[in-house]
């Protein structure tokens, strides 16, 4: 391998990147833009779930139940249907996500110490909202039952003290307020940085489609020089985006950065090496930019989004898919960014992920050097 030849390939590639200015700006700035759009619009909080209440009882107790239900802000009582049919249409039209039917005799039964049943109807099309609403209503109903019981006991002269005896102390570490932006930014950075990798796949294939690869083949450049020379500029441009994203994440969006910035740059380079080596392999096998694009999207974009653990914890996936998830560079990089930004981890806990990325990067680059023939077709 000759360093001068590698460097000239690098310079040629750099010039390609810089010449298409619009693409260059898109590649480096779009991750930041996406980061901002995501950060400002996402929250996992399920709040203000609109419900309808159909109160057949209309007593002091049923009113008390109704009023307390909406007090935490998780649920908003938006509709007071007159009959079952109206309630049904509210649910069908998606105006209400759930409905509570308080039966006639609710108060009477409860005060007599008997069992009474509330009917709760939830719209199951969105299961997580549905589950949340069910948990909330069930917990609240138990609380009301306890309140009434303790009041009844107090009347009989047995003082059992105040209400809500369970204190669940929920503490969320690394992101104490579960504030959406802080929790999401590190993971999102890992995802949006897949964009430079997809772009590189296309840029690497362009040479083939335009026929300039023939010109390269006639030069004395060796395949390892060609491949390494082509990879490095994209790693550099990717790192530029990575640093930009981190700066925006920390200074604009207010995400903490608790780890070492140097480690972030190093491990990001590690990630780009792994991701770009996959881009390179695709570009070796695929004839046109269109096909390269389809292929890169299928490898980076979708799995990066859905299977890297960003939206959906890997622990909950079926075992076969867990393996698949660990084969994606983004999965490991996501663990790294979360660890660096939020947990302040160092290499002693991050090394397995860094090693996985390095192994992918070196392995796949090796494969592409071996399989890339300096010929056409």
Residues 110-129 that bind other proteins (CB under 8 A): 110-129
Task: Name the phi and psi angles at 97, rounded to 5.
Answer: -90, -20
Could you say which residues in the range 265-324 bind other proteins, by CB under 8 A? Answer: 286-291, 293-295, 297-298, 301-303, 305-307, 309, 311-313, 315-318, 320-321, 324
3-state DSSP call for residue 52?
strand
Nearest to 71 by CA among 14, 160, 140: 140
Residue 123 makes CB contacts below 8 A (sequence gap 6+) with 91, 94, 96, 97, 98, 129, 130
Applying CB under 8 A, does 328 fall inside the site for other proteins?
no
Query: By CB under 8 A, is residue 153 in contact with other proteins?
Result: yes
Task: Show contacts with other proteins in window 86-115 (CB under 8 A).
Answer: 91-94, 109-115
Residue 242 touches other proteins, criterion: CB under 8 A: no
Give the nearer residue to other proteins in terms of CB position, either 192 or 232.
192
Determine the Cα angle at 40 with ends 34 and 43, to 5°: 115
Query: Which is nearer to other proteins, 255 or 365 (by Cβ)?
Result: 255
Supply the minimum distance, in Å, between the C-beta of residue 158 and other proteins.
6
Tokens at 347, concatenated: 């290499």
Residues numbered 176-205 forming contacts with other proteins, rule: CB under 8 A: 176, 178, 180, 183-184, 186-187, 192, 195, 198-199, 202-203
For residue 77, give the H/E element and its range.
strand 75-79
Minimum CB–partner distance for residue 276 and other proteins (Å): 15
> How many residues comprise the chain?
377
Q: How far apart are CA 187 and CA 265, in angstroms?
A: 16
Interaction residues for other proteins, span 17-56 (CB under 8 A): 20, 22-23, 26-27, 30, 33-34, 37-38, 40-48, 50
Q: Does 342 bind other proteins (CB under 8 A)?
A: yes
Q: How many CA atoms lie within 13 A of 98 on its CB side?
A: 27
Question: Looking at beta carbons only, is 216 or 321 nearer to other proteins?
Answer: 321
Q: How far is the CB of 370 from other proteins (least distance, A)?
A: 21
Judged on CB neighbours under 10 Å (0-12, 13-18, 19+), 268 is buried
Tell me which of 9, 32, 54, 137 binds other proteins, using CB under 8 A. 137
Which position among 1, 7, 104, 149 is part of the footprint of other proteins (CB under 8 A)?
A: 149
Chain residues 203-222 in contact with other proteins, contact rule CB under 8 A: 203, 206, 209-210
227/377 Cα distance (integer angstroms): 18
> Which one, 2 or 119, has the nearer CB to other proteins?
119
> Which of residues 220 and 313 has its CB atom nearest to other proteins in the complex?
313
By CB under 8 A, is residue 346 in contact with other proteins?
no
Cα–Cα distance, 350 to 274 (Å, whole number) = 16
By beta-carbon proximity to other proteins, the closer residue of 5 and 322 is 322
- The DSSP code for 125 is T
Residue closer to other proteins by CB (options 224, 353) is: 353
Given the complex with other proteins, which of 40 and 240 has the nearer CB atom?
A: 40
Q: How far apart, in Å, are the Cα atoms of 366 and each of 205, 224, 274, 360, 369? A: 19, 9, 11, 10, 5
Q: What burial class does residue 205 get, using C-beta atoms within 10 Å of its C-beta: 0-12 exposed, 13-18 middle, 19+ buried?
A: buried
Q: Is 146 in the site for other proteins (CB under 8 A)?
A: yes
User: Among residues 221 and 372, whose Cβ is nearest to other proteins?
Assistant: 372
Going from the C-alpha of 237 to that of each of 17, 24, 123, 234, 347, the distances in angstroms are: 9, 9, 47, 5, 24
Shortest separation between residue 4's beta carbon and other proteins, angstroms = 28
Closest distance between other proteins and the C-beta of residue 97, in Å? Answer: 9
- Please tell me whether residue 14 binds other proteins under the rule CB under 8 A: no
* C-beta of residue 5 within 8 angstroms of C-beta of residue 220: yes
Shortest distance (Å) from residue 105 CB to other proteins: 12
Q: Which is nearer to other proteins, 294 or 359 (CB)?
A: 294
């Amino acid at each position: 391998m000759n360093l001068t030849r590698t460097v000239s390939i690098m310079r040629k590639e750099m010039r390609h990147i810089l010449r298409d200015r619009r693409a260059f700006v898109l590649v480096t700035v779009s991750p930041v833009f996406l980061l901002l759009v995501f950060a400002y619009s996402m929250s996992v909080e399920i709040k203000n779930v609109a419900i309808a209440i159909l109160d057949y009882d209309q007593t002091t107790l049923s009113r008390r139940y109704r009023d307390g239900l909406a007090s935490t802000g998780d649920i908003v009582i938006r509709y007071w249907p007159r009959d079952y049919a109206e309630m049904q249409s509210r649910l069908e039209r998606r105006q209400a996500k759930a409905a509570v039917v308080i039966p006639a005799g609710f108060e009477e039964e409860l005060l007599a110490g008997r069992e009474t049943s509330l009917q709760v109807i939830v719209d199951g099309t969105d299961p997580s909202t549905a589950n949340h609403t069910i948990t909330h209503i069930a917990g609240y109903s138990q609380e009301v039952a306890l309140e009434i019981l303790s009041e009844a006991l107090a009347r009989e002269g047995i003082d059992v003290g105040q209400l809500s005896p369970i204190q669940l102390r929920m503490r969320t570490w690394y992101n104490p307020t579960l504030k959406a932006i802080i929790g999401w930014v590190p993971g999102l950075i890992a995802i949006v940085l897949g964009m430079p990798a997809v772009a590189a796949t296309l840029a690497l294939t362009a040479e083939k489609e335009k026929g300039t690869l023939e010109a390269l083949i006639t030069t004395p450049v060796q395949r390892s020089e060609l491949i390494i020379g082509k990879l490095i500029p994209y790693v550099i441009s990717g790192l530029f985006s990575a640093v930009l994203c981190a700066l925006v994440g920390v200074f604009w969006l207010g995400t903490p950065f608790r780890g070492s910035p140097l480690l972030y740059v190093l491990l990001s380079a590690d990630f780009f090496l792994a991701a770009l080596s996959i881009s390179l392999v695709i570009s070796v096998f695929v004839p046109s930019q269109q096909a390269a694009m389809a292929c890169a999207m299928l490898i980076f974009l979708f799995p990066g989004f859905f299977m890297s653990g960003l939206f959906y914890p890997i622990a909950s996936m079926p075992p076969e898919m867990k393996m698949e998830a660990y084969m994606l560079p983004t999965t490991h990089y996501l663990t790294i960014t979360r660890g660096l930004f939020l947990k302040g981890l160092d290499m002693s806990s991050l090394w397995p992920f860094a090693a996985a990325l390095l192994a992918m990067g070196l392995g796949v680059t090796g494969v592409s050097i071996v399989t890339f023939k300096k010929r056409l077709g």
